[in-house]
Amino acid sequence: MVVFYGLAAFIVGRYTSSKTPEQVKGVRTESTGDQIEKPQPYTDIQSGSVIASSVNFCSNTVYSFQLAYPKDWFTTYNNKYQECTFFAPFSFVVPGYLEHDIVPITVVPVAPADWQTTVKLYENPNDYQNVTSTKNVEINGRSTEIIDSTSTGNGFVPLGLVKKSYLIFDGRMPLVIYYQQLNSNEDVLRTEKVLEETVSSLKYF
């Protein structure tokens, strides 16, 4: 298994053994017309803009967070630990064992004790990524590091595809929310905008 994906596979893949890929469930979502309060945008320019009206809300009750994502996107999971961690503009099935990214946007919950190790993993160039920029910002009151990188061509990701990662610190449950370009035909700017709005919508409960 590729080293660069080890952390995500450990966090997400270890919960998939109890169910087969055929037991995929649809995530219960709520539209903006329902009772969930629409998140307010942060005033800093790094926090993104107001989320469009046509979104769904998705809640993970294990890690106690909620996200909004475009209504024409999809999310699915094999078990409650994976709820609201995979998002794509196409339908998909989560395999029982994850070796590489299967969707453009992925959410990785990280134990607080593992946070510093995780940050170093994303910040530093390695055999699989070249880091092109890092930026520390505050989004909705939380310290966040934005890291841009490109793939080296080693491993599963073809050469030169982009990755944008938001490392969001929270004392109870830090999250990494990232976009990995899967092929050269993707609309990178549009997907990065979706990522930005999804991160801006993050709420803990």
Indicate if the pLDDT at residue 91 is higher than 50.
yes
Model confidence pLDDT, tens digit, residues 66-86 = 999 999 999 999 999 999 999
Please tell me the distance from the alpha carbon of residue 123 to that of residue 119, in angstroms, as a whole number. Answer: 6
CA angle 191, 196, 197 (to 5 degrees): 100
Q: Are 125 and 131 in contact (CB under 8 A)?
A: yes
Phi, psi of 189, rounded to the nearest 5 degrees: -60, -40
Domain count, the chain: 1
DSSP-assigned letter for residue 19: S
Report the half-sphere exposure of 42 (CA within 13 A, side-chain side): 21
By three-state DSSP, how is residue 168 classified?
strand
Domain span including residue 177: 3-204
Model confidence pLDDT, tens digit, residues 37-73 = 333 333 343 444 444 568 999 999 999 999 999 999 9
Q: What percent of the chain has pLDDT over 70?
A: 74
Tokens (6 digits) for 141: 């009151």
